[in-house]
Every structure is written in C-alpha cells, then in structure tokens.
Chains A and B, each alone.
Chain A
Amino acid sequence: MNKILLFVLVVGLLTVQGCKKEKRLTIAVGGAPSEVEYLERLIGEFEKETGIHVVLRRQPTDTDQRRQELVIALKARERDPDLFLMDVIWVPQFAASGWLEPLDDYARESGVELSSFFRGVVENVDRYDGKLIALPLYVDGGLLYYRKDLLEKFGFSPPSTWDELVRQARKIQKEVRKKNPSFYGFVWQGAQYEGLVCNFLEFAASMGGGLTDSLGRLTIDRPENIRALQFMRDLINRYRISPPNTYTEMREEEVRLFFQRGDALFERNWPYAWKLHQADDSPVRGKVGMSLLPSSTGGRHVSTLGGWHVGISRFADRKKEAWELLKFLVSKEIQKRLLFDLGWNPGRRDVYGDPEVLKEVPQAAVLQSIFEKAIPRPVLPFYTRISEILQKYLNSALSGDMEPDDALKSAQKEAEVVFSLYEKR
C-alpha cells in the first residue's frame, strides 16, 4: 500500500508542475515573425530605459487564433497577459465584456493628449460607455495601388471614380493580354473571410451605402448596398477585370502576390503592401503608385478602418507598469520608428506632419487623408457573429449562388436575429 501512495504522490507532484504563477508584466504580441522580433527588441529598450521587466508572450499570426487565446485567458480572469494587442474589430467585444481597464485617469495623469490621435479612431473604437479603454498601436485603411508605368503609357491618370477604373482597366487589360494572358485589371479580396466585409464596405459606402444607419440600426439590404454587391459581381463576371478565383481564394497575400508579379493593373489592399512592392526583388519596384479608393460619381472616397490597438487587462496584476509600456508604444518617437521600420501607420496624426516623416515617407499625406476618412465596421460586441453572416452571404452572391438582393436580404434577416439576441436591454 505504501508503494502505491508513494507512486501517487510522485505523480501528483509532477502533475502540479507548471502551476506556478509569479507577478510579472506580460504583454501578448502576435503578427508576422519579423514584426514580433522587432517588437521584442523595442521592448528590450523599454526595459533598459525604465528598469521594468517585461515578459513577451508570442501569439500566432492568424487573427482568429490570437483572439481565441486572449478570450480564453480573459474569460478565465487570468492575471497574464497584462497588456495585449487587439484587432480593431474585437475592441467592442472586449470592452463590453468588461475585460479592459479604463485608461482616462492614466492618460490624464501622464499628460497624454488624446487630440494628437485621429479623432474618428479614438472616439469610435477606443471609447466604450464614455470611457477610454484602448489606444491605437497602428491604423490601417484600404487603398488603391496602381501601376503608374502602365497608366502613363496609356495616358491615364489614377481613376477617381469606379467608372473610370473599369474603363481604364478594360482598355489596358485588353492590350497587355496580348503579351501576358494572365493579366487582370483589378484584384481585390473576395474570399469568404473578414477581408471580404472590408472590401464590401468600401464599395458600398462609396456608393452611398453602409452597414448601419446613424442610429446604429442594421441596414444591410439597402439599395445602395445591393448595387455595390452587383458591381462587385460584375467586376468578375461582366467586365471580367477580376479573376474568377477572387471569391474562392483572394485574400491579402494572394492579392499582393498577384499584383507584385506584374499581373494586375489595380490592387485594393492595406498599406503594408507598399514596402513589399518596393522591395529589391519585386518585379514592380518603382512602378507602383497609391491613392484613395475611387468613389462613385458624386460619392465619397472611403476606406475601411483597420489596425491594432493596445489595451490593459482588467485582471492584470501590474497595471501601472502596463500603462508605462502602453504609453511607450504610442509615444510619438516610437510611432515614428514603427512607421519607418515596420510600415505601421501611426494612430497619431502629429506624426504625419513631422518633417522627417514627410521626407522619408512621401505618401504620408495620402495616408493621413485616408485615415481621417476611414470608417469603422459596426462597433458591436458581437460584430464577429454579424461578420460571419455577412461573409457567407456576400460570398454566395459573388459566386453566383444567390442574387445580390436575396443575399443581402437574408443577411439582414439573420443579422437582425443576432441583434435581438444580444442587444442590451
């Protein structure tokens, strides 16, 4: 019998291994490995400057996995990570779930001026229930990349309306196809994932549509949205300037690689692609221009707001130190370096006017106007559920399984059910 007890004890002790939890400042960061490595070095500098020891918890690259890991930790009220990065679309969910520490007092005491940040971003995303609960690490907005060499050759200037884009694309595509049969006029993200919703929102809002009205009610099946969805379908089937696998495979990297190979005239993508297009081994190096996305005639130029924000966990055991690190990351100096080294666009507008920035990053002016105008996706705690519904129906319309008006009507119906499930009563 004694032997058994001993056995059980030993096994028990071994099992308890990995249960230790010390107090420490932990930040969870994810993204591409190069980005994570850079942040690691940056945080090392912070440690030297302030003497605060930081533990870096590396997250995967995939957004959904990052969210899952954080949700698990926060639901379990873990003390780590103290600080973490959130995709702009999760901030409402995290905030409404009471997982984010309010930052107004910290900001006030540290003298952090909220007016130095993009107002639209801070007010729409970083505020919940009147309280500040996050700050932008970097912002993103969709934009149009174009082959300036091809446009010049045909005597065009960058299109300012969708009609112009279609006309230019058709003409140039026909000519270039004589030599390069895999050439397409316009590549964008149409696969069934979050990016599709971002693209759709840009098409729709530029034609006067949108997902919600001023009162926050869902307006998915608006006529303008139906027209936008039909237009997206036409790009593939009628005008044939977008490839047939747009709705099965085209996501950010697929689109970028397509354009970078030299097989596309126009590309809708996020700012990150710029650096890669200008890389030494890029076939389109020096031939790329960027501009605002076209509008419909008489409409406005719109970008979907993306980006990542930093927040402090309500259950953190080192909140003061976490704030120091947060302050560090959103400080003007660090934001400038992130822009130069990673191509991350600051959420602070004061960086864009900086003379050094204007010299190094000539497109900063374009970027600034994009971010001032960027519109967020619906700021709802259950946005991901709505997005899933939208992704499904938008993609069915693109693939031809459903007609645009049916698709959007069904999406509206389903989304309304979710809305009634989850809205605050």
Chain B
Amino acid sequence: MKRGNLCSPASGEALPFILPVILFMLLLVALPVIGTFINSLFRDVPFLEKRFVGFGNFARLFKDPGFRESLLFTALFLLISVSLEMVLGTLFALTMNEKSRLTTLLRVAVLLPWVIPVAVGARIWQLIYNYDYGLLNSIIVLFGGTPVNWLGSPGLALFSVILADVWKTTPFVALIVLTGLKAIPEEVYEQARIDGTNLFNRFFLITFPILRPVFTVALLFRTIDALRVFDVIYVLTGGGPGGSTTSISLFAYRYFLLGDFGLGSASSVVLFLIALSLSVLYLRAARFKEAIS
C-alpha cells in the first residue's frame, strides 16, 4: 500500500490518532459547557417545575447583592494576587538563576508549595491563621501584641486568602520566568557590564524586555486561574465572613448546593464569558505588542 511521505496531506490516517482527544474534549468539555449555557436559561430547582425563563436568571443575578459582591471580590483577588505572584515569582527566578550552593535546595523548596494539593495547603494556612493556636497569632502574642482575627474580619480575610494563594502559585511563575532567564546568553550581560550600566538598569533595560513573552504567558495563565479560584477559598473561609471572600465560582457552587441548577449555571456562564473575554483581549494585546516590536 502506498504511504505518503511525512508531510503529505494524508489526513485520513491522522484520524485515529486524534480521535480519542477529540472525543474527550467534545463529550466532557464542550458538551457540558453547552449544556450549562442551555441550563442557565431555565428555572431548574428540584422543588419547582422546570421552566424556560430566558434571561430571567441573569437579570436576577445582577440584582443580587451577593453576586455583585462576588464580582468585586474576584476582581480584587485577581488584581492583587496576580501582581504579587508576578513580582515575587520574578524575584524568585532571579535569585535561582544565580549559581550558588543553594540552587538545588531552592529549586526543590520552591516546588513543594506547588505540588501539594491546594486543599491541603489551604488547611495548613487555616491553622496558621487560627485565632487561638495559629502560628501568626502565637508569634504576635509572644511579642506582646494582641491576636488578630485573620479570617474573621472582612478586610483582613481578603488579604489572608491572597497570601495563601500567592504562597501556592508563585512557584509556577518562578519556574516559567526562570526558563526565560536561562535563555538569555551571558554575553548580553557582559556587554552591559562593560558598557557600565548598573544592576538595576541592567534588569529593567535588558532582562525585562527580553522576558516579555514569558511574562505574557505566565500572566495569562495566572489571570485565568485567579478568575476561577475556588479551592483555597472554600477551605480557608468558606466564602465568609458574610460573603466577603466569595469568588464567582464559589457563588455558583452555593446555588448548585441548594439544588438550583438554573442560577448556578447562569453564574457559571457569566464567569465563562468573563474568562473568554479576558483571554481574547489578552491574546490580542500580546499580538499587538509583538507587531509593534
């Protein structure tokens, strides 16, 4: 039988190779998403009859102060968390890039927070923040201060959640940036040193611009992840106090728990559309910059 060479358009033979992936994607991702979109148009509660309500669910959502609160929280969480991760991750990467006796130890240490399950990490932070026995309050009391209610006051809870998340996700950014750093040849720095630029200028004028594509990738992934945050909040605060740390995902989940699939789906759809828009905006912006440079 005749076989085409490696690059001929013998597309038929590719089918069995890609079919499993296509099936999984269609049946387990595309189908549920479409199903969710459709479901969001219905009043779907176990103790009432299912009924088409068009955009009624969405209208109710936007009138719900809890939903608006979750939008605000998610936006704040995203902005602060991602900024911190990017800065911290870059710092980590710069440090790990330097050859020292500690390099392997640093690499392993940095990886650990990332590999453990989010839920487990969150439980550890829940204890760290604990009012009576927590690490933070115990240290504070040791120095004569008054214990702080890390998870019980609305303003503080936001930062507590962000810190726990940053702890877990900075490694990811650090590793990506580190790879980018490693790709920069030493000669570039040599030249810069000879030219007399100092440490900080070297970073901002040379390193930073070269790292831009890497930053873009990290930023995109982290933004989408922050947008859909669920695990760490569920465990750490359950969305409280008073709904002040409820993300959109958690808000949708609450409705699913009540059995209201209509409103749960509607909330999920809103989140999906936000994620979609952000991704598209992002990619457009990234291409635009590339086109310029």
Contact = CB atoms under 8 A, between A and B. Distances in A.
Interface of A: 68, 71, 75, 93, 96-99, 192, 245, 248-249, 381-382, 384-385, 388, 392, 395-396, 414, 417, 421-422, 424
* Prevailing SS type, chain A contact patch: helix
Nearest to A380: B47
Contacts of B259: 71, 75, 93, 97
Contact of B241 (A71, A245, A395, A422): A395
Contacts of A249: 131, 152
A98 B240 CA distance: 31
Contacts of B60: 417, 421
B144 interface: no
A249 B259 CA distance: 29
A382 B43 CA distance: 14
Given A68-B257, A99-B46, A385-B258, A248 B149 contact: yes
B48 to A, nearest CB: 7
8 contacts: A71-B257, A97-B259, A245-B131, A249-B152, A414-B65, A417-B60, A422-B45, A422-B48
A248 B258 contact: no
Nearest to B63: A417
B64 interface: yes
Nearest to B239: A388
A384 B152 CA distance: 21
A97 B47 contact: yes
Interface of B: 45-48, 60, 63-66, 131, 149, 152, 240-243, 254, 257-259
Contacts of B65: 414
A392 B60 CA distance: 20
Nearest to B149: A248
Contacts of A392: 242-243
A192 B240 contact: yes
B46 A97 contact: yes
Contacts of A417: 60, 63-64
Contacts of A385: 258
Contacts of A421: 60
Given A245-B131, A414-B65, 12 more contacts: A75-B46, A75-B259, A96-B46, A97-B259, A98-B47, A99-B46, A248-B152, A249-B131, A392-B242, A395-B241, A414-B66, A422-B47
A392 B63 CA distance: 18
Contacts of B241: 192, 395
B36 to A, nearest CB: 16
Given A97-B46, A192-B242, A382 B258 contact: yes
Contacts of A192: 240-242
Given A249-B131, A395-B241, A417-B60, A384 B258 contact: yes
The residue in B48, B60, B63 that gathers the most chain A C-beta atoms within 10 A of its C-beta is: B48
